[in-house]
Amino acid sequence: MSQTEKKPVLFSGIQPSGHIQLGNYIGAMRNFKLLEDQYNCLFSIVDLHALTVRQVPASLRQQTLELAAMYIAAGLDPHQSIIYCQSHVPQHAELAWILNCFSYIGELSRMTQFKDKARKHQDNINAGLFTYPVLMAADILLYQTDVVPVGADQKQHIELTRDIAQRFNAIHPGVFKVPESYIPRQTAKIMSLTEPEKKMSKSDPEDSMVSLMDKPEVIRRKIKRAVTDSDAQIRFDRAEKPGVSNLLNILSVCTGEKVEDICRRLEGKGYGQLKEETAEAVVAMLAPVQARFHDLMADKAYLAQTLKDNAERAQKLAGRTLAKVYKKLGLYQV
């Protein structure tokens, strides 16, 4: 089906900062392919959002290309979905300014992510960090989005997006579709290898997460060093045995074998066997994705043209909404 056919619209954005890690892939990217037939999908590389933290320009450019390649390597079709850079569609920033005028200081100051990032970056508490959720609202509302896949840490932002849309529509009826959160089908939560009480994150220390870029020997080393415990019993117990439970989850997701069956099969065999099987399962699952990724990164002209073409498609959709907004607000257009 083409992007213009009347299917619900799904929008998702990922920052090009750091490398995509195993948890991102299992919880999000791997499932995106399943959504292409149900939705008109837009997958945005939200490079403007990345600027709230100081970036090394050359690294940001490289990570942007890598993320585009990873979307395609994970199975997405750039002719069916729209895979594009946020900064290539100026309507994002334009609508964000408009929506800033419909957002309140009080509600932005209550955003937990702002508080968390302000604590981590006390030398750079900038206005962009404060108004980040408004740009996120613009990202979503620009495409008359029906659903947005979200994790627990983004639910507050989606609620703010809905509030802003409803506030605008109350004054200027019928402009924005009010989006819903999309809760992906239940997937195993992948935790840090070194601190298994918290989720794996691409911003964590290198040894705590498996990057989709990691070579097989690096994956094996990281999983071999993963935190477990001292009683050597292989059983799933998130509270008492978080490290072992995390490895069991990863192995189960990679192979499709049920956790209880793995526990039964590995009974009495020790953590070494669990770690070895988990490492080999991760290596095997990522091998085709990595091969496709490296092929794409070797053809930067293809990636550049794909991003250009997809940005043009996104601009057409975004332009319709922005024109409607400008007209409703009384901004004189020629």
**Catalytic residue IDs:** 117, 199, 202
Q: Provide the token pair at 222.
A: 């990281």
For residues 270 and 243, the answer to whether their CB atoms sit within 8 Å is no
For residues 189 and 27, the answer to whether their CB atoms sit within 8 Å is yes
For residues 313 and 305, the answer to whether their CB atoms sit within 8 Å is no
Which sign, positive or negative, has the C-alpha torsion 38, 132, 151, 204? positive
Q: Give the whole-angstrom CA distance, residue 281 versus residue 285.
A: 6
For residues 83 and 307, the answer to whether their CB atoms sit within 8 Å is yes
For residues 190 and 27, the answer to whether their CB atoms sit within 8 Å is yes
Q: How far is CA 286 from CA 133, 223, 282, 294, in A?
A: 33, 14, 6, 12
Count CA atoms closer than 13 A to 273's CA, side-chain side. 11
Q: How far is CA 36 from CA 88, 216, 298, in A?
A: 22, 30, 26
